[in-house]
């Protein structure tokens, strides 16, 4: 698989990222991790590596921390791999009931919470450092100087080498960049053929179009301007771009699936490869985050690395996904 080098990083990373959200099997923290779950997770991770993936995406909340714990088995069994892979995790989301039964679900970008969250991830992952830390979802109560203090402490201690964000708008990124001393190198957002709003923002400007109500104007362009790599979570829209089944957008899903299937047949590749290649064709260098423990799905996704879509192919898929002609 072809590799790219993110700003400031020395390790070239795969264009496709392996999403580790489901590795822990269950989100119930009280349920122990079974041997079967560990085996299935390690089989998926090692297969991803065989396919050329060396970039792994985590979050402290995934399966209530158990996904990070399961992944640590790779480093315990093969410690020499640590310098050959990039491990990214996220923090900032707190579930309801933490720390008291009356505590609501919320976001928390306070310095001490960020630092303690990272230390928890490092312990579960059995590693000394994260290659990249992302703040998971914007905290309306964020104090940028507190974030800066957390990043400084983690960077100085060697616990985090690079920093990024997730689900942030251009304005939110800009606000944090004024206080944070380290470069912001990643913004992970939802993008797929059935979730095209990041791209639509530049298409429907000043148009009488409901999609114009999406308030992320300039986020994609801001990230490109400042060297911030876009990572796409849910790049297959939970499989809807392949199956054509979607409760929210049934007509668009069917249109997308038909276009994807047609191109896949013409190019003799998997449907997953076409849907992911559509993202990777964008000049922003979008990196899809693919999460599956199914070996066939992992192999199918990795075929995207060898697919080159024409401009016409790209636009045909885009129009199907947005469910309307271009203005």
Contacts of 22 (CB under 8 A, 6+ apart): 62, 63, 67, 291, 292, 293
For this structure, is 62 an active site residue?
A: yes
Written in H, E and C, the secondary structure of the chain is CCEECCCCCCCCEECCEEECCCCCCCCCCCCCCCHHHHHHHHHHHHHHHHCCCCEEECCCCHHHHHHHHHHHHHHHHCHHHHHHCEEEEEECEECCCCCCCCCCCEECCCHHHHHHHHHHHHHHHCCCCEEEEEECCCCCCCCHHHHHHHHHHHHHCCCEEEEEEECCCHHHHHHHHCCCCCCEEEEEEECECCECHHHHCCCCCCCCCHHHHCCCCCHHHHHHHCCCEEEEECCCHHHHHHHCCCCCCHHHHHHHHHHHHHHHHHHCCCHHHHHHHHHHCCCCCCEEEECCCCHHHHHHHHHHHHCCCCHHHHHHHHHHHHCCCCC
**Residue tagged active-site, from 62, 102, 197, 315:** 62
Contacts of 209 (CB under 8 A, 6+ apart): 324, 327
**Is the Cβ–Cβ distance between 81 and 40 less than 8 Å?**
no
**Is the Cβ–Cβ distance between 119 and 154 less than 8 Å?**
no
Active site residues: 62
């Amino acid at each position: 698989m072809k590799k790219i080098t993110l700003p400031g990083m020395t390790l070239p990373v795969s264009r496709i990222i392996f999403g580790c959200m489901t590795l822990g099997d269950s989100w119930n923290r009280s349920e122990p991790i079974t041997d079967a779950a560990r085996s299935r997770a390690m089989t998926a991770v090692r297969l991803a590596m065989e396919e050329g993936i060396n970039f792994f995406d985590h979050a402290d909340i995934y399966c209530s921390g158990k996904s990070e714990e399961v992944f640590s088995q790779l480093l315990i069994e093969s410690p020499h791999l640590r310098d050959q892979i990039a491990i990214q995790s996220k923090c900032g989301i707190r579930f309801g009931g933490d720390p008291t039964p009356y505590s609501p679900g919320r976001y928390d970008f306070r310095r001490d919470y960020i630092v303690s969250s990272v230390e928890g991830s490092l312990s579960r992952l059995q590693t000394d450092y994260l290659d990249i830390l992302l703040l998971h979802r914007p905290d309306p109560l964020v104090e940028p100087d507190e974030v800066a203090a957390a990043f400084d402490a983690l960077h100085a201690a060697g616990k985090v080498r690079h920093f990024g964000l997730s689900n942030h708008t251009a304005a939110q990124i800009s606000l944090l960049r004024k206080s944070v001393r380290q470069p912001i190198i990643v913004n992970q957002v939802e993008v797929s053929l059935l979730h095209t709003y990041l791209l639509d923002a530049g298409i429907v400007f000043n148009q009488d179009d409901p999609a114009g109500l999406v308030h992320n104007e300039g986020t994609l362009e801001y990230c490109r301007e400042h060297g911030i790599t876009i990572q796409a979570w849910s790049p297959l829209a939970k499989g809807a771009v392949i199956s054509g089944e979607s409760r929210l957008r049934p007509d668009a899903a069917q249109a997308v699936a038909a276009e994807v299937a047609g191109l896949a047949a013409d190019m003799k590749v998997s449907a997953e490869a076409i849907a992911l290649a559509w993202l990777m064709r964008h000049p922003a260098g979008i990196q899809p985050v693919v999460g599956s423990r199914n070996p066939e799905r992992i192999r199918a996704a990795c075929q995207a690395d060898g697919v080159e879509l024409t401009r016409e192919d790209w636009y045909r898929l885009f129009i199907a996904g947005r469910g309307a002609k271009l203005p």
